Structure 1
Amino acid sequence: MKRVVVDLHFIPCLEFFTAVVDADEILVSPDELYQRQSYLNRTRIRLANKVESLSIPIQGRRPRLPLNKVLIDYSQNWQKIHVRGIQSAYGKAPFFEFFFPYIEPVFEKKHASLWDLNYEMLTICLKLLRYSGKLTVCQKIDEEQVDLDLRGQIKPSGSFLERELYLPVPYAQLFGSDFEPNLSVLDLLFCMGTEAKKLLLSSVKN
């Protein structure tokens, strides 16, 4: 039985999912501390002319708090900006109409904490990928019972090429002739649909 512990990212990238797609159990903890300049509150999508980061504003500056204590800032209109960005990026993608109705309602809620938002989004993404394992919330994680501990490893700084998790397998994206690897899993879902999980499995770096 393969058990993997990860940070709870916001709409995780493909590197994240190649690390967990073949796991029997994914472990996440609300007590893990918020990390600045991480994927905890950002994701990357591909627009017509560039790759864009969608970020969730949080209350306070540089909080050294557990993720379930990090509050989202709703004084900014970030939800509509995210929805418009996703629609602009993927509205014409082959599987947009199938999967977007699962994603859009999450942006219509006002989750109190970053943990609540990220957990719901990950649950939906795993469902759309037809993940067959279990997602488990643990207050404290026993490292001796974990096969792979990826906390603090998958991050925007540094290249995924330096890590031993993800080997990009190109697929047909909506814009441009050059393949852009390691975007949000939304890029893969909207472009590849039911083939997404198969492609992730073939992207696992051995």
Structure 2
Amino acid sequence: MKAAIIQSNYLPWKGYFDIIHDVDVFVFLEDVQYTKQDWRNRNRIKTPHGPKWIIVPVTGGIHQKIFDVKIDYSSNWIEKQKRQIEHSYCKAHYYENYKKELLDIFIKNFDSLSELNIFAIKKISKILGIETKFSKSTDLNVDGTKDDKLIGICQKIGANSYMSGPAAKNYIKIDKFSNANIELEFKDYSGYPEYPQLWNGFEHSVSIIDLIFNCGDKAPNYIWGWRNGKQ
């Protein structure tokens, strides 16, 4: 069984969902330290003026676990962000088809950033036809840090294969996974084809909502289907 263990991000890019699609179990790593200026509470969309950030305001400092981070609802960021998304994508080919389903993530006030992110990721995974099983590290109660924690989670859920993002090649201890009889695989993000996208130029590193609004039910072809000749 293959697993991936990654922090929840806000409306992640297509590569995040490529990993989810490729594994049997995807574990949200939420009992680790929250990092600011990262993808946990923000992402980018393509606007008429180029890529712009969409941000979820949060409370508290950096010395929090991800699952402890609360959303700051004191400002009208939800309405502002919905207008920003509508202005950027109202002319997209599939905007009307998916706007209600995607913008529904803003209907409920979530207690924590994790809850919002996980809700949105599961909803988008369903739109993309992904059938991967989801779990949370907070439900598994595995101690340890860094590689030891990842290995412990794999062992707890019975995974003998672990998929990581390519950046982890710089710090992950390959021998630890080998000694634990866990096969280690690094996702390759190269080769993604361009798709019909609004505004000038093309941007790969934007939220998945860009791909869905522009390509609709053909979106999976530009994430994983292209490897099998589907586009």
121-130 or 10-19, which moves further after superposition? 10-19
Mapped pair 1:181 → 2:204? yes
Cα deviation 1:3-25 (Å, max 9, x = unaligned): 11111001001221222222222
TM-score under structure 2 length normalisation = 0.76
Partner of 1:147: 162
Partner of 2:115: 116
Partner of 2:195: 171
SS at match of 1:54: strand
How far did 1:40 drift? Answer: 0.2
Mapped pair 1:73 → 2:72? yes
Paired with 2:216 and 2:223, the residues of 1 have a C-alpha distance of: 12
Structure 2 counterpart of 1:45, which letter? I
How far did 1:101 drift? Answer: 0.8
Determine if contact 1:129/1:196 at 8 Å carries over to the other structure. Answer: yes
How far did 1:188 drift? Answer: 0.5
Residue ranges of structure 2 left out of the alignment (5+ in a row): 143-149, 169-186
Determine if contact 2:166/2:188 at 8 Å carries over to the other structure. Answer: no
How far did 1:102 drift? Answer: 1.1
How far did 1:26 drift? Answer: 1.0
CA RMSD of aligned residues (A): 2.1
Partner of 1:159: none
Structure 1 counterpart of 2:121, which letter? L
**Structure 1 residues 38 and 167: alpha-carbon distance in aligned structure 2, compared to 1, 3 A threshold:** farther
36-45 or 103-112, which moves further after superposition? 103-112
SS at match of 1:88: helix
Cα deviation 1:94-146 (Å, max 9, x = unaligned): 11112111122221221111011111111111011110221222323524535
Partner of 1:54: 54
37-46 or 11-20, which moves further after superposition? 11-20
Partner of 1:6: 6
Structure 2 counterpart of 1:81, which letter? K
Determine if contact 1:25/1:134 at 8 Å carries over to the other structure. Answer: yes
Partner of 2:102: 103
Paired with 1:166 and 1:118, the residues of 2 have a C-alpha distance of: 25
Determine if contact 2:23/2:163 at 8 Å carries over to the other structure. Answer: no
How far did 1:60 drift? Answer: 2.2
Structure 1 counterpart of 2:219, which letter? A
Determine if contact 1:5/1:151 at 8 Å carries over to the other structure. Answer: no
How far did 1:86 drift? Answer: 0.8
Partner of 1:131: 130
Paired with 2:30 and 2:166, the residues of 1 have a C-alpha distance of: 13
Q: For CA contacts below 8 A with separation 6 or more, give which structure has more relative contact order.
A: 1
TM-score under structure 1 length normalisation = 0.85
SS at match of 1:21: helix
How far did 1:166 drift? Answer: 4.1
Q: How many aligned positions are there?
A: 193
Identity %: 25
**Structure 1 residues 77 and 203: alpha-carbon distance in aligned structure 2, compared to 1, 3 A threshold:** farther
Partner of 1:191: 214
Paired with 2:56 and 2:77, the residues of 1 have a C-alpha distance of: 7
Determine if contact 1:43/1:53 at 8 Å carries over to the other structure. Answer: yes
Paired with 2:27 and 2:122, the residues of 1 have a C-alpha distance of: 12
Greater than 4 Å deviation, 4+ residue runs: 150-153
SS at match of 1:43: strand
